[in-house]
Structure 1
Amino acid sequence: MQTFSYKTESDIVKDEGRNRFSRDTDILSSGSGKVVTGTVLGKLTNGGKFKPLAPDATDGTQIAAAIILQHADATAVDQEVVNLKRRAQVVLQNLVWPGAITAAQKQTALDQLAALGIIARMGV
C-alpha cells in the first residue's frame, strides 16, 4: 500500500443515494493493515469480509466490491467500517489503489465498481 495524505469521505463521494442508501456497515478483515478513506476494497469469498483490492489474488479480493469511507487499522483485529457499495459517483483521482496495480487492472476494477452503480469521474 502506498502512503497517501488522509482524505475524508467528502473528498471521495460526490453523489449517493438518499438516506445513505449507498452505504453499508461491513467488516474489514484482520491483516488488512492501516486502510485510508477512498481505498478500493475486494470481498473475501470465504467469510464475506473486506480487504484492500488485490488484483492478482484468487480469494475474492481481486474483484472490486466497495470503497471504504473511513480510516481503519485492521492490522491485528477485524474492524467494523462503513463502505460505499452501490449507486454513487466518486472522484476518480481520490481513489486509493494498490501500489503495483496496472492500468488494465485499474480499468477492470472501475468496470466492476460501475456494475455496482459506483461511477468514478474526474472531479474536485
Structure 2
Amino acid sequence: METLGPGTACYLVSEANGTRSREVVTIAQGQTLLPGAVLGKVTTSGEYTAVNPSSDDGSQTAVAVLFAAVDSTAAAHAAVITARDAEVAAHELAWPAGTTTPQKTAALAQLAAVGIVAR
C-alpha cells in the first residue's frame, strides 16, 4: 500500500483568474519539497528554495508557495509557484523542520506583502 502525501495545490483557497497568480520558476538543487512549501528566492542565482529564516542569501524572506511537489535532489528543477493574488490555508503550508512559530508569523507577513494571504 502506498502512502500519498499532500495533493497538488492542497494549500490553495482562491487565486486570481487564469494563471495570474502563478509563475514558472527554478527550484534550487538538493531539495525534496511538498506542495504548499513556503519559498524564498536566492538573490545571486534567482532560484527558489525552502524559506530559511537564518540565511542571508535572500531565502530568509518568504516570497511564494510551491504549487506541486518537486524533487530537485539531483538537479535544479522547473516548478510552478503561487507568487501573488491568492488566499492560502495556513494549516496546509509546509515549513522546513525547526521553523519556529515566530518565524512562521514573520514569513506569513512577508507572503501577505506580496499578496499571498494566509487564512
Do both share a fold (TM > 0.5)?
Answer: yes
Task: Name the one with the larger helix percent.
Answer: 1
Alignment root-mean-square deviation, CA: 1.0
- Aligned counterparts of 2:44 and 2:103: Cα–Cα separation in 1: 22
TM-score (norm: length of structure 2)? 0.93
State the shift of 1:10 in Å: 4.1
Letter in 1 for 2:60: Q
State the shift of 1:7 in Å: 1.6
Range with bigger deviation, 110-119 or 9-18: 9-18
**Aligned residue number for residue 120 of structure 1:** 118
**Aligned residue number for residue 89 of structure 2:** 91
Letter in 1 for 2:7: T
- Aligned counterparts of 1:34 and 1:99: Cα–Cα separation in 2: 13
State the shift of 1:6 in Å: 1.6
**Aligned residue number for residue 47 of structure 2:** 49
Matched residues, percent identical?
34
Structure 1 unaligned blocks of 5 or more: none
Query: Relative to 1, partners in 2 of residues 1:10 and 1:48: Cα closer, same or farther, differing over 3 Å?
Result: closer
CA contact 1:8–1:69 (8 Å) conserved in 2: no
Structure 2 unaligned blocks of 5 or more: none
**Aligned residue number for residue 8 of structure 1:** 7
- Aligned counterparts of 1:10 and 1:39: Cα–Cα separation in 2: 10
**Aligned residue number for residue 103 of structure 1:** 101
Letter in 2 for 1:25: V
